Amino acid sequence: MLFTGLAVNAYVVSSVIKWSGQILERIPIIKTIYGAIQDAVNLVNIGKRQKMQSVVSVKITDSIHLIGFVTSHEGAKTLFKNNEKLGVYVPLSYQIGGYTLYIDRDQLTPLDIDVETAMRIALTGGSMPETKTPATE
């Protein structure tokens, strides 16, 4: 009986969420914001499944670097007929949104950091997440 109740509840909740999403996608301004939120959530979920090499430093100048997330190997090849470019999503701090840049591989440096931490750093304007030390645990 408990499992039947959980299954029905899960079905009802997922149906309501799906229906709500369909309604939001019909409202002109809201659908843009809703779509951006969905994309950000999907980016984080995809990032959790990928390896650390999907977080990169994008070299703008010798002294300026941005955190980015490799999103597409094939997209750049299709768009630019170029095997040296990669699609890199660069999020904007304190906002939902960012830029997808197509950048030459030699301008990218893989970072030894997980996607979730990198996203926190990028979205909070560079604030490093707190780390626990043995004295604070």
Domain count, the chain: 2
- Looking at the fold, whether 42 and 55 belong to one and the same domain comes out as no
Strand, coil or helix: what is 110? strand
- Looking at the fold, whether 72 and 135 belong to one and the same domain comes out as yes
| Sequence-ordered list of residues with C-beta below 8 angstroms from that of 127, at least 6 positions apart, any chain | 120, 121
Cα Rg, the chain, nearest whole Å: 19
- Looking at the fold, whether 87 and 129 belong to one and the same domain comes out as yes
Model pTM greater than 0.75? Answer: no
- Looking at the fold, whether 11 and 63 belong to one and the same domain comes out as no
- Rounded-to-integer distance, Cα 1 and Cα 36, Å: 40
- Rounded-to-integer distance, Cα 103 and Cα 107, Å: 7
CA distances to 33, 34, 114 from 20, rounded to whole Å, are 14, 11, 32
Residues in the chain: 137
**Domain range enclosing 91:** 51-137
One pLDDT digit (tens) per residue for the chain, 137 residues? 666 666 666 777 778 777 887 887 788 887 777 777 776 666 555 555 544 348 899 988 889 988 888 887 777 778 877 778 888 888 877 766 788 888 888 889 888 888 778 877 877 777 665 654 455 55
